[in-house]
Structure formats: structure tokens, C-alpha cells
Chain A
Amino acid sequence: AQTVTQSQPEMSVQEAETVTLSCTYDTSESDYYLFWYKQPPSRQMILVIRQEAYKQQNATENRFSVNFQKAAKSFSLKISDSQLGDAAMYFCAYNWIQGAQKLVFGQGTRLTINP
């Protein structure tokens, strides 16, 4: 069974600095997607970034980028120039392309931004 692990329950960073959130996953499949979702205090789930496993290039969305290491089954999220609005729970998630369509989520990392 696929599993997703986020080993950092909480992280904090000073405003304008950079922070990296860790995620590892376990799968025997070769074709899959990985996602980072953000859940602010409103509790809405917001897609931050998506990575296709067959792409070697790391995905980037403005201040958000990932470090995807397929062999190591690692998928970390880097947030540059942190802003107060980045404060939220961040969830890493996995989706196997060819099979079950369910997203498998990690336990989440609570990110605090210090002004």
C-alpha cells in the first residue's frame, strides 16, 4: 500500500526567509503524481504545486518549488521569501496514475511565519 510521511509536525520561519518542508512516500509504481496542498485557517484545501513522476524537471510555481528525488522517494517543498499568508497546514499527497484514483495524504506540517 502506498504511504506518505511528513516527518515535521511543525515548522517556523522568519518572514522573507526560505523554508523547506519534507515529504517521503512509499510506492512500487513508476507512474504517479505528487502534490502539495495548503490548508489555511479557513480549512479550504488549496493546490500549491504538482509534480509528474515521469518528469525529471522539478516543478515551480512562483515562490514555491519542489525537490523531487524519485530514487529516494522524496518530495520536499521549498517556499522562498516567506509571507505571512503562507501560514497554514501543508499536506503532501500521492496519486497513482494507472490505478486507484484516491489521493493518499501525509499527516501534515503546520507552518508558522514569524513577522
Chain B
Amino acid sequence: NAGVMQNPRHLVRRRGQEARLRCSPMKGHSHVYWYRQLPEEGLKFMVYLQKENIIDESGMPKERFSAEFPKEGPSILRIQQVVRGDSAAYFCASSPETGETQYFGPGTRLLVL
């Protein structure tokens, strides 16, 4: 049973470009969560999605960040016009049901030059 898949594992962008991060949940999981980890810090919640629905986006910055989880395909975290402060590790997690244990992917390390 494959775990949570994230790609790319590393992403380098210049300021002003767009970053697209992908997450495929574990088989049978319909709940996806995105977290951000700044250097030397714990993970901070960004957004919680179910298929075609954003359930909780209370941790998402108001501008430039968006997320989706379409009926078919992976969940996408999109960052427009990236700035250096967006450099971080972005983790995706999935769970089979709400409130269940979340299993994490390997993360995407975003570096903005």
C-alpha cells in the first residue's frame, strides 16, 4: 500500500514565479491536509480539503496561496508570485476519515531565490 506521495521533492523558483506542489493521498483516503514547516520550527496547518471541497483554510495566507483537491487527480497547493519568505518545507497528510490519524508524505522543499 503506497504511502502519501508528494512531488516534486525539491523545487527551486525565482521571486515572482509560480510554485505548484502536488499530493496524492494514500489509497482509500479522502481527506487531505497541507502543512508548512519553516526552518527550525514545527509544522503549521494551512488547509484541509476533501474531494472538491475546501473544509478549513484558516491557516492559508490571504493572498497568493490556493489549494484544490479535484474529483480526479492529486491535491494541488499553488503559490503565485513567490517571495523568499515562502521558502519552506510543505507537507501533505491524508486520513481515511475526519479525526483519524494523519499520515504524512515526504514533503516538498521549496527554495525561492
Contacts and interface: CB of A to CB of B under 8 A. Distances in A.
Interface of A: 33, 35, 37, 42-47, 50, 91, 95, 97-98, 100-108
Interface string B22-57: 000000000101010000011111001000000110
A101 B55 contact: yes
A45 B56 contact: no
Question: A35, A44, A50, A97 — which one has the most chain B CB atoms within 10 A of its CB?
Answer: A44
A66 to B, nearest CB: 15
Nearest to B42: A105
Dominant secondary structure at the B interface: strand
B106 to A, nearest CB: 5
Given A45-B93, A97-B99, A102-B45, 13 more contacts: A33-B101, A42-B106, A45-B43, A47-B103, A50-B101, A91-B43, A95-B102, A101-B33, A101-B55, A101-B95, A103-B35, A107-B41, A107-B42
A33 B99 contact: yes
B89 to A, nearest CB: 6
Interface residues of B, number: 26
Given A101-B33, A101-B48, A108 B42 contact: yes
Nearest to B34: A102
28 contacts: A42-B106, A43-B106, A43-B109, A44-B106, A44-B107, A45-B93, A45-B107, A47-B101, A95-B102, A97-B99, A100-B48, A100-B56, A101-B31, A101-B48, A101-B55, A101-B56, A101-B99, A102-B45, A102-B58, A102-B59, A103-B33, A103-B35, A103-B45, A104-B45, A106-B42, A107-B41, A108-B41, A108-B42
